[in-house]
Amino acid sequence: MPDRKFLVTFSPHDRNPETTDKVMLTVIIAMLPIIANSVWYYGFYAIKGYVLTSLFCIGFELLFNKISGRPCSLKDNSALLTGLLLAMNMPAAAPWWIMLVGSFVAIIISKQVYGGLGQNPFNPALVARIFLLIAWPVEMTAWIQPTPIIRGFLFDTVSSATPLGTMKSDLLAKGHVVTANLASYTDQLIGNVSGCMGGDGAIFVLIGGLFMMNRKVISWHIPVSFIGSLFLFTGIVWAVNPARTVDPFMHIISGGVMLAAFFMATDYVTSPVIKRAQIVFGIGCGLITGIIRIYGSYPEGTGFAILIMNAFVPLLDKYMRPLSFGEVKK
Amino acid sequence: MPFFGFKGGVHPDYNKSLTMEKPVETLPVKPGDKYYLPLSQHIGAPAKPVVSKNQQVKTGELIAEAGGFISACLHSPVNGKVVSISHVVHPMAGRMEGIVIEADETNDEFVPISDEGTFQQIVQRAGITGMGGATFPTHVKLSPPKEVDSLLINGAECEPYLTCDHRMMLEETMKIIKGAVLIKEKLRIKNLIIAIEKNKPDAIKLFRKYEKEYGFELVPLYVKYPQGGEKQLIKACLNRVVPEGKLPVEVGVIVHNVGTAAAVYEAYTERKPLYERIVTVTGAVVNPKNLRVRVGTPILTLVEACGGFVGIPKKMVMGGPMMGMAVTSVETPVMKGTSGIVVYREEDMPNLTKYPCIRCGRCVDACPMLLVPSIMDRFVKKEMYEALEEHHVLNCIECGCCSYVCPSRRTLVGGFKTSKRHIMQMIKERGAKNA
Ligand code: SF4
Ligand code: SF4
């Protein structure tokens, strides 16, 4: 009888069909409505942006694999995901070299040098965004007016302010928010406002987010605690003094909060693995965003908030570990 | 009808329909066939042989006696001759000490065990071990050091593919009930609960009929793996939590598998020792079946009785897909705890492409013991056993839920199993130093 022709592995011998590359692909699919929406409003700019950042990110990932002699890691789909996210966090009119630098910072500096997929403490796309924002503030805030694609590919770079930017400058200049200067809820929800390529159009982000929840790729914990705490916090400030800030609903549909809450704060690698720690993480993101927006000099705050909370993830996971089954509290 | 549930767990594909409807067939004994009997069929000390080479033995005759309190007797599964006492294939240890018997005549009779002594002694003499896979010697469990108020009979059978318990519940209902009642009465236990997963409605219906008459309580269980884990079962049926590192007795419960209850009945009333059991043979075999086979029968014989392999077998698992052992040889014999043989072809095997841990938290959500497998796995890789101990790795029941859900195919349980051994050793040494 021929022995040893059978494969021996540890149990279990059956696995859930979900694999890491498929999970990443699901997130990419969930981004399609957002991508479509930005192409609708920014036409050629958006297409160029998504294509360039994706190619740059994939290129840097490959390059690093080659240099470090590691096997190709493209098949996990995470580089593509980072590329798309990075584009969403940039103004449509950002020049190509900004995208190149951003992709370098995202893939090489904030992911690969830490050891690649799963090892980075901070969300790569966000590190890149914040880096660019600090290094090239002018290019990173060169917002263009959204123009539906049916009016043709427009190439005019009419600079215009984001709604939250307008709010902040009104507040600084006049001491109170001028509601009349703000975009309507509808425009904000469908993304017909200036801003990052994928940051506005709350409805489309929500569609993607619900899709991910439905596919069990993400859970409600981070988005709900993030959005909920921002809503509550800004709501309280607004209720006390409506001239101080916009209403809480406006807060949660503008400035990329939805994108941040569903697509960036939920990044597996840089968020807690324990559910109740995720809630604390989400609340932290929401509160810091609110504090920056209302008391800081920067109008948005979601990116900073998530990066700050990323730093707390190891602590949250450590101290919020549930008691194991039957464990006696000491 | 109480139901309290537990956190975590997974819902694998059950694949039970292959054999669910198939009545148990008895695999005949053929003269000339060899039976391989490892001396360690159970947790605890191996048994000690009491026969010698070339000795003629009868079915049910004692061939090795318990090597201590936590050990079990071994009986000849057939009439035949002891052809060797040396090494036989063992699913866990590779090869180990064992007795080989060659059958010479077919006969359904057996040598009855003596009925002297206490209930526990009779059970011990019959060589009964847990039939659900953990193979703890049954008489030990029947000698609780503490007062027990509840006896739980485990008919969950939550492992995918396996249907041997299900068939037994349908075909040997009375043996199970009477065995359970017997244990209850002998140990003066107040409550008797029989728990069955809801995906066996026919079994539930059948047991319902006898609920009043025999004074037990039937608890239909939510279908979720590892519902049949002792600690999960106790939580689900009685809402009691077994403290970490303790046995069910600690909370006044003992748990026995349905097959064990039936074996206890057979031992006590029919004086039959444990030398055969029901095994589900399934997966890539021509005609999957539930077979009643003698302990010691090589897997190949079982597969042949099912019409042989379909395609090229790539992996053979003894037990279920979640906790079973992959065996290397078709010579591996059926043991007292062998509930199933699952054959996989290359194409039946899951995609095992490994990725780094992406910290998705799926393993954390799936762990029924509320551990943090992803973080523990990092300590495994770095051999940080102290940190693992602090993360309660010893509480891991090795159910495999974490590995099952991991999209990056980390070998989580594998690492925990190995680490647990290291840590036990560490604790022992610590104890020795302090003593
Ligand atoms: S399931 Fe796998 S990839 Fe996800 S956190 Fe656990 S070990 Fe990491
Ligand atoms: S094998 Fe251990 S760590 Fe993994 S899910 Fe089961 S109990 Fe938890």
pLDDT tens, position by position, A37-90: 999 988 888 999 999 999 999 999 999 999 998 888 899 999 999 999 999 999
Q: Is B366 in the pocket of ligand 1 (CB under 6 A)?
A: no
pLDDT tens digit sequence for A79-91:
999 999 999 999 9
The better pLDDT of the pair B162, B88 is held by B162
Residue B187 covered by a domain: yes
Confidence (pTM): 0.92
> Is the dihedral angle over the CA atoms A87, A256, A217, A313 positive or is it negative?
positive
* Interior/surface letters B340-352, b for 16+ CB within 10 angstroms, e for the rest: bbbbbeeebebee
Average pLDDT of chain A, as a whole number: 90
Q: Please report which confidence band the pLDDT of residue B219 belongs to, taking 50, 70 and 90 as the band edges.
A: very high
Q: Which of A6, A19, A115 sits opposite B328 (nearest CB)?
A: A6
B216, B247, B270 — which closes off a domain? Answer: B270
Residues of chain A found within 8 Å of residue B133, distances taken between Cβ atoms: none
What integer pLDDT is reported at residue A150 of this predicted model? 67
Name the residue among B381, B317, B228 with its Cα closest to residue A11: B317
Count up the domains in chain B and report the number: 2
Residue B212 covered by a domain: yes
Distance A61 CA to ligand 2 centre (A): 34
Distance B425 CA to ligand 1 centre (A): 28
Residues of chain A found within 8 Å of residue B355, distances taken between Cβ atoms: 19-21, 76, 117-118
DSSP H or E run through B385: helix B385-390
ipTM: 0.91
Distance B369 CA to ligand 2 centre (A): 7
Residue B290 covered by a domain: no
pLDDT tens digit sequence for B157-196:
999 999 999 999 999 999 999 999 999 999 999 999 999 9
Q: Which of B358, B391, B403, B405 to mutate to test the interface with A (most CBs of A within 10 A)?
A: B358
Average pLDDT of chain B, as a whole number: 92
Residue B204 covered by a domain: yes
Name the residue among A329, A319, A320, A212 with its Cα closest to residue A268: A212
Which A residues 93-132 touch B at CB under 8 Å? 115-119
Residue B83 covered by a domain: no
Range of the domain at B164: 130-270
Name the residue among B258, B308, B303, B257 with its Cα closest to residue B280: B303
B101 in Cβ contact with B82 (< 8 Å)? yes
Q: Which of A15, A118, A327 sits opposite B359 (nearest CB)?
A: A118
Instruction: Answer yes or no: do A3 and B328 touch at CB < 8 A.
Output: yes
Q: Give the count of alpha carbons within 13 A of B160, CB side only.
A: 22
Q: Please report which confidence band the pLDDT of residue B135 belongs to, taking 50, 70 and 90 as the band edges.
A: confident
Task: Return the percentage of chain B with pLDDT > 90, whole number.
Answer: 81
The better pLDDT of the pair B267, B90 is held by B267
**What's the CATH number where B159 sits?**
3.40.50.11540
**CB B167: neighbour CB atoms within 10 A?**
24
Instruction: Answer yes or no: do A12 and B323 touch at CB < 8 A.
Output: yes
Q: Is the domain of B259 the same as that of B139?
A: yes
Q: Is B424 in the pocket of ligand 1 (CB under 6 A)?
A: no
DSSP H or E run through A317: helix A302-319
Write out the DSSP string of B146-187: S---EEEEEE---SSS--HHHHHHHHSHHHHHHHHHHHHHHT
Residue B394 covered by a domain: yes
**A189 pLDDT higher than 50:** yes
What integer pLDDT is reported at residue A157 of this predicted model? 60
Residue B353 covered by a domain: no
Q: How is chain A split into domains, by residue range? A: 20-135, 162-317
B239, B270, B301 — which closes off a domain? Answer: B270
Q: Is B401 in the pocket of ligand 1 (CB under 6 A)?
A: no
